Structure 1
């Protein structure tokens, strides 16, 4: 768990760099790495690929994240699918997802910038109109006070404000992971738990 926190904290101290073209190119690289990993069954090779994806995913979004929320989500979902396929322990998967969510919250602060208020209003209006299930939505993260509070909490406790209940796994990612790691007990257990929790949540919502 401390590894993920250290990697996150290290990444947010880096100076913002890169252009949209460079970011897009690195996204394609990340996809290629993921596709290579999905075809392989060797755990060590998969683990090395996972480490590469971790490194890339932490290095790519160094521009202000405001213009690229969908772009960042695409990496996040890709890396989560990769993690599911690894059969890593559930706590490690959880720590990684928490670190990425927290990274998004603290990047504005560490880059020394406040949120773009126009983008904030547009995003908030869109979320209120359409309803947003995106756990990485920036709406709640825009206010500088909240950003500062969450950043301090992350540094102090290594925890994030956002709850894992807001984290969504798509059925496509679940089925992909099961098909690629059919004999991995850790993967099976983690996925069964996720599916069970989602079913319980649906039942509560119906009531």
Structure 2
């Protein structure tokens, strides 16, 4: 197989996976209509020159086609028939700040958004908070959608984390690939629902710093082969 044909096959595979992920976000009730977006880091680009494949702006998932997925460059230029998501800067800056990020998902899911509109940090009410890298899940400061200010606030909230809330907006997660990022987004929304329901009963009993430290240590090797 020629290099060009191999590149074409890889491109088609990424486009298909990204479109499948966008539709899966809707099926999981993470997004409705044109809300939310997803991207995948394109291989071969240097860290300083992030390139990504990202969902288009303002098109419902059910109407998106493979060719509508936009190739976005670090400077905001793009290739494709439709403009990339208005949150392309947020995706670009997450890839630039976190080399482990292979895919980024942004959603306006019901429970995460409800908590984001309260601008709350999710405390260690459940040990699975550690799944996202720390003893809490932060809420990024409010900024208008599609702005550099929102991107900067999001990157700050994601330090040592793989998920955060966006004040009065929604949620962001990143994973090593699209499958991983989607699983994390669904898990994050589940935690947000559990926290929201817990608050209906009153303030939860929180895990201590020592208890969370033990959980975080266990998550360092959880799901990985043991020698």
Instruction: Give the TM-score normalised by structure 1.
Output: 0.23
Instruction: Give the TM-score normalised by structure 2.
Output: 0.22
Higher relative contact order (CA 8 A, sep 6+): 1
More helix by share: 1
